[in-house]
């Protein structure tokens, strides 16, 4: 096989799918990109078994067909240090050994490669159900929730993003038991409700690639194989889904938080960042003391004789209260809200608080709700 391709074109596509690669593969063949030529198309693929991602590149100059597995690290490093120019790839076979030659204007690079037939194939999408979703909606749904996914392998079903599609909207949910995020959009609906748990690593990869794409993403979901496929532009991503049932997140969202605090997101976030420096570095505990006249944020680390206090301007409605938060969790939530003002709804110092954009309405096309569990305050 032999083909010519632009350095920028092939590097862009290999770089896009390279996030799927794993550093600790049980199968050495997965340390490679699969190159497969059919007609005038080159399909490049990366996989870690649970997730497979492919990109199709159209070629003008190609000889032969077939497939080979090319070492990914060597190829990416070579292309990264090569300027934009036409690059010639020549693959030859002698007995059972495959070799590859990369020719550019200023050099030739020879290496080994492997039989592409040894590369695992993505599972078939038997009896799949499908829907289309705007790339921006999908990207936001993932990016607004992925930071809140769990890390406890004992509760593996919480180590992903729960996706629920019904006749009213599409909902993305993530929780680690300390914080919970629900992102909802009414642009995507179906008369045939479906739900599944999306794994974190493939979704992080999909989020990154979607940031540069505008258009529709076609989604196929197969309950039979517990597999999902996302197709857009020249990219296809296959992923297995998390098994098990997702916790009933709706029951933990309080309905009667009667104390509200409206504040500038940026001002509140910067204050949390500064005061959090002085918090105990094992608990990250901060206090938020609220009255209709004043709002104060404090932190203290007795072991190191550190203490900080800031007053912040906001509008508080309700009886005076002091509530404690993990500053890292609170900071993560605020960093993932892009509204100028936020509203925090609370009831008691030991009950969950809700945080969301202050100007958001229940019937808005996009609805974002974040929940954070308070921490017990030290006297």
The per-residue pLDDT for 269 is 98
The per-residue pLDDT for 239 is 95
Choice between 142 and 121, residue whose per-residue pLDDT is larger: 142
The per-residue pLDDT for 213 is 92
pLDDT over 90 percentage in the chain: 86
Q: Quickly state the pLDDT bin for 156 (edges 50, 70, 90).
A: confident
Residue 136: exposure state from Cβ atoms within 10 A (0-12, 13-18, ≥19): middle
In the chain, what are the domains? 2-118 (3.10.150.10), 129-251 (3.10.150.10), 255-372 (3.10.150.10)
For residue 238, what are the β-bridge partners?
52, 229
Tokens of 65: 């067909």
CA distance 17 to 326: 36
Q: Quickly state the pLDDT bin for 379 (edges 50, 70, 90).
A: low
Tokens of 342: 């936020």
Average pLDDT, the chain: 94
pLDDT digits (tens, 9 = 90+) for 43-55: 999 999 999 999 9
CA distance 49 to 30: 8
Cα separations in angstroms, 334 against 277, 317, 356, 369: 17, 20, 9, 11
Tokens of 331: 């900071």
pLDDT digits (tens, 9 = 90+) for 297-331: 999 999 999 999 999 999 999 999 999 999 999 99
Distance of CA 184 to the CA centre of its chain: 16
pLDDT digits (tens, 9 = 90+) for 354-372: 999 999 998 889 999 999 9
pLDDT over 70 percentage in the chain: 99
The per-residue pLDDT for 363 is 84
Instruction: Please give the average per-residue pLDDT across 241-261, as a whole number.
Output: 94
pTM of the model: 0.93
pLDDT over threshold 70, residue 212:
yes
Choice between 43 and 25, residue whose per-residue pLDDT is larger: 43
Tokens of 184: 């909802």
pLDDT over threshold 70, residue 223:
yes
pLDDT digits (tens, 9 = 90+) for 80-137: 999 999 999 999 999 889 999 999 987 999 999 999 999 998 877 878 889 999 999 9
pLDDT digits (tens, 9 = 90+) for 179-192: 999 999 999 988 88
The per-residue pLDDT for 377 is 85
Residues with Cβ within 8 Å of 348's Cβ and at least 6 positions away in sequence, in order, are 321
Residue 62 has φ and ψ, to the nearest 5°, of: -145, 140
Cα separations in angstroms, 25 against 20, 30, 201: 11, 6, 15
The per-residue pLDDT for 39 is 94
The per-residue pLDDT for 281 is 92
């Amino acid at each position: 096989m032999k083909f010519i391709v632009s350095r920028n074109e092939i590097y862009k596509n290999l770089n896009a799918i390279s996030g799927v690669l794993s550093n600790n593969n049980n199968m050495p063949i997965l340390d490679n990109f699969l190159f497969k030529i059919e007609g005038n198309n080159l399909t490049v693929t990366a996989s870690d078994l649970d997730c497979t991602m492919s990109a199709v590149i159209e070629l003008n100059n190609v000889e032969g067909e077939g497939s080979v597995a090319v070492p990914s690290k060597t190829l990416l490093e070579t292309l990264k240090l090569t300027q934009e120019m036409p690059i010639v790839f020549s693959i030859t076979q002698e007995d059972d050994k495959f070799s590859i030659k990369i020719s550019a204007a200023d050099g030739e690079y020879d290496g080994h490669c492997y039989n592409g037939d040894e590369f695992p194939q993505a599972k078939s999408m038997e009896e799949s159900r499908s829907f289309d979703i705007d790339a921006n909606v999908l990207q936001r749904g993932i990016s607004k929730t992925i930071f809140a996914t769990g890390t406890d392998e004992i509760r593996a079903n919480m180590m992903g993003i729960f996706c629920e599609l019904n006749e009213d909207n599409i909902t993305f949910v993530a929780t680690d038991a300390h914080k919970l995020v629900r992102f909802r959009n009414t642009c995507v609906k179906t008369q045939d409700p479906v739900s599944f748990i999306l794994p974190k690593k493939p979704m992080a990869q999909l989020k990154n690639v979607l940031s540069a794409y505008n258009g529709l993403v076609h989604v196929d979901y197969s309950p039979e194989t517990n597999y999902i496929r996302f197709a857009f532009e020249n990219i296809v991503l296959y992923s297995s889904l998390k098994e098990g049932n997702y916790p009933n997140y709706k029951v933990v969202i309080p309905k009667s938080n009667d104390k509200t605090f409206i504040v500038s997101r940026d001002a509140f976030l910067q204050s949390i960042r500064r005061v959090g420096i002085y918090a105990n570095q094992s608990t990250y505990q901060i206090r938020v003391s609220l009255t209709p006249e004043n709002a104060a944020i404090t932190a203290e680390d007795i072991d190191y004789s550190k203490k900080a206090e800031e007053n912040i301007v906001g509008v508080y409605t309700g009886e005076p209260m002091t509530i404690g938060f993990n500053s890292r969790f609170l900071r993560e939530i605020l960093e993932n809200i892009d509204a100028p003002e936020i509203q925090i709804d609370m009831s008691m110092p030991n009950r969950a608080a809700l945080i969301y954009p202050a100007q958001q309405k229940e019937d808005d096309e996009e609805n974002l709700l974040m929940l954070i569990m308070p921490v017990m305050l030290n006297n």
